[in-house]
Structure 1
């Protein structure tokens, strides 16, 4: 395998700069959990500087630490359910068939990018594993010589381009679920279902444009000829044969190896889904985070066939949820300090930030500044749902003050939130484990995508934002 220095020297232009940047971040950037810890202390010091007493700060920290317990579990389940569905035998067979479709090396790269983004619209956790397995399946073809790094970067485009514009968007899911919203945020925004966020024509159009742009860049940036680096060159083992489940050894394990219970659970879930669709508006049903996770979890159980195979897949998926489980409580604590610790003038940090963004004014300037702020913060706090809880109280209050549509403000955050993923390798980790690669192998290609995406995203949030009218927040009715 070539050294990191040789990898950089073999690249040209932007890719060479990006490879150097990737090497620097790998050497100097700490784990994302450390960033979250630092964020808590920075916010605490800011609150003290604002005039809050030490007792107010520590009370807000401790009282708010577990505010997002339900949402933390929900986001971990997004990753887990996506992994379980992607590794099921039927999906594995589908991936093998899809791998035979591309006819050229470059079309293979753009094909992976398109499918990873399409799947990401349904579930970003599914997209990571699905895209990685598809890249591996194409790399196993003996009739194509495809750059494995470009394939891997294409598989990441679901997370690097459009994941937050889809149905598993953390911010959109949170805003559509009253029970998961912190009371302070619920008071500002009310409940925003998918009809006001991801299913607006403006958001869908933006998603289509970004997908098309990403596919074109992936196609033309894929190396050809002598510049191609294959999986074999990188010494990556492409053997994806599934591990055999141990045979049943005692009578009590009979149901673990039977398809009866998964089928019954699947039928009950189908019955529940039909009942929901028959009695509630479609957007209310698809906006339900709990319902969304129920369907995906039971789908994984049915696709794996038996409880034993399903649990084997779950065990493999659990490590990918670790970052969410330990980071989100820190984001909850940050949000609590921002919104609850009052300063000497009776204002919280959140209220000061809201005033700052309100002073920017309405229209294109507001959306562009919010997008840029989200990109910069996302480089250091790589968490869509957790970071939204930190930003949302003052961003949404500012949007209300200047008369900006709240649903579009969520989507401005969402489309900007994906951009830092093209530079910060935190969300690449599950994919890198599937691919058997390092972050530096992919960032050369993803950084190139970032250079094109940033100006296009800023232009889109500005132009499309002018088509919205302000709609006052609607509070959920109490039973």
Structure 2
């Protein structure tokens, strides 16, 4: 039954969902048209807002692209591939393989979202190669879902980190909230584990017939790592430097020194920011590809998948710029909150965040627009403030399964198009919205 239902979503995706860049351009045009409805006197102002927004994501675009390159190079190293293949050979049945993949995804997402985004699809590739009967597009969609769900119960979510910091921009009205109050309160914890069980059940019981299974199939042959060239004549000083293992060893040892120093001084969990995760893989690559020639060749191999990430992230920044310039996000959030009561504010906070995230796919950026409206309504209704935070974060993360920005790196690594997985992502999103929306109506009355 679940497979038949998921196929209806995927059928629509195959027919109507374009490539991820075209999807982004369509969202840009939609944001512009909607912005004109709110600010009809600002046609050029919206274009300028789009232009300004493009550059707001340049740094993040490079970080995400560099993450794809570093992590992808490490994943394709023979030593890592053999290790992941050994793990992937342990499950003997498709349902066991799916549980292994999803549990790994949830655990890694609680460590760091970038870590999970990259390693989960890499493990999925190995499982698909070693366990017959696993549907690879569903594996990628469900694995990606574990990452976004993990952000709702992890301390690295932007809103939770922000409101726990003294001096944040809403401190004068709502104060400072520690993460034991926001992240780990009973309602949010219950919802997180309900969703963990839900996604695992969807992954296990959405089973295609044998003739419809799609296994992982590389779209192109991997570029072989350049080995040191053997020359008949005398080897020059330049040749010896290009093939020097000592140079890469120096870089690797320096990287280890930085990593150890950070963990000792700040602790492991506080060290695991975005840049640190990328640096871990950069350091690992210095040992996996132990000459400059091999190191550079491995990175060149991953430049092509990173190109889509580098291109599309600034365009989503442009959408954010238009939403801010038009004031559309504030208008939409305000309209939804106006109908809220003390019993329904959590549901409306969740649904409004779901919608606005389609156009502002940055939790921090969305909170700047929506946070003042939600907290003002919560104060007026004397609602539970941490649950408003939770509802916002769940809404922001839920429609990451429809708005494809953060799945682009995973798709780039495995060589898939958005339409191949979007239907399964939307299928899981439907369950998330229905279940979590119901939870935010019922659980606050029972548990708080």
Alpha-carbon distance between aligned partners in 1 of 2:124 and 2:44, rounded to the nearest angstrom: 53
Q: Which residue of 1 aligns with 2:371?
A: 396
1:370 partnered with 2:349: yes
Q: Choose the corresponding residue for 1:24, options 1, 15, 22.
A: 15
Q: Which residue of 1 aligns with 2:83?
A: 94
- Equivalent pair of 1:40/1:333 in contact (CA under 8 Å): no
Alpha-carbon distance between aligned partners in 2 of 1:192 and 1:320, rounded to the nearest angstrom: 41
Matched length:
434
Alpha-carbon distance between aligned partners in 2 of 1:272 and 1:81, rounded to the nearest angstrom: 17
Relative to structure 1, is the Cα distance of residues 451 and 364 closer, same or farther in structure 2, using a 3 angstrom cutoff?
same
- Equivalent pair of 2:74/2:80 in contact (CA under 8 Å): yes
Q: Choose the corresponding residue for 1:269, options 238, 243, 255.
A: 255
Relative to structure 1, is the Cα distance of residues 27 and 156 closer, same or farther in structure 2, using a 3 angstrom cutoff?
closer
Structure 1 position 45, deviation (Å): 1.6
Alpha-carbon distance between aligned partners in 1 of 2:309 and 2:155, rounded to the nearest angstrom: 12
- Equivalent pair of 2:50/2:322 in contact (CA under 8 Å): yes
1:145 partnered with 2:132: yes
Relative to structure 1, is the Cα distance of residues 420 and 47 closer, same or farther in structure 2, using a 3 angstrom cutoff?
closer
- Equivalent pair of 1:197/1:410 in contact (CA under 8 Å): no
RMSD between aligned residues: 4.6
Structure 1 position 396, deviation (Å): 0.8
Alpha-carbon distance between aligned partners in 2 of 1:64 and 1:436, rounded to the nearest angstrom: 28
Instruction: Write the deviation string for residues 272-305 of structure 1: whole angstroms up to 9, x where unpaired.
Output: 344444444766544x443443334333434444
- Equivalent pair of 1:124/1:168 in contact (CA under 8 Å): no
Relative to structure 1, is the Cα distance of residues 449 and 70 closer, same or farther in structure 2, using a 3 angstrom cutoff?
closer
Equivalent positions of 1:365-444 (< 5 A) are 365-377=344-356, 381=359, 384-385=361-362, 388=363, 391-401=366-376, 402-403=378-379, 411-420=390-399, 422=401, 431=410, 442=421
Relative to structure 1, is the Cα distance of residues 12 and 101 closer, same or farther in structure 2, using a 3 angstrom cutoff?
closer
Q: Which residue of 1 aligns with 2:226?
A: 245
Alpha-carbon distance between aligned partners in 1 of 2:352 and 2:447, rounded to the nearest angstrom: 21
SS in 2 for 1:134: helix
1:213 partnered with 2:194: no
Structure 1 position 107, deviation (Å): 1.8
Alpha-carbon distance between aligned partners in 2 of 1:389 and 1:39, rounded to the nearest angstrom: 22
Q: Choose the corresponding residue for 2:434, options 422, 447, 455.
A: 455
- Equivalent pair of 2:225/2:297 in contact (CA under 8 Å): no
Relative to structure 1, is the Cα distance of residues 97 and 248 closer, same or farther in structure 2, using a 3 angstrom cutoff?
same
Alpha-carbon distance between aligned partners in 2 of 1:405 and 1:162, rounded to the nearest angstrom: 27
* TM-score, with structure 1 as normaliser: 0.70
Structure 2 unaligned regions, length at least 5: 231-235
Relative to structure 1, is the Cα distance of residues 68 and 230 closer, same or farther in structure 2, using a 3 angstrom cutoff?
closer
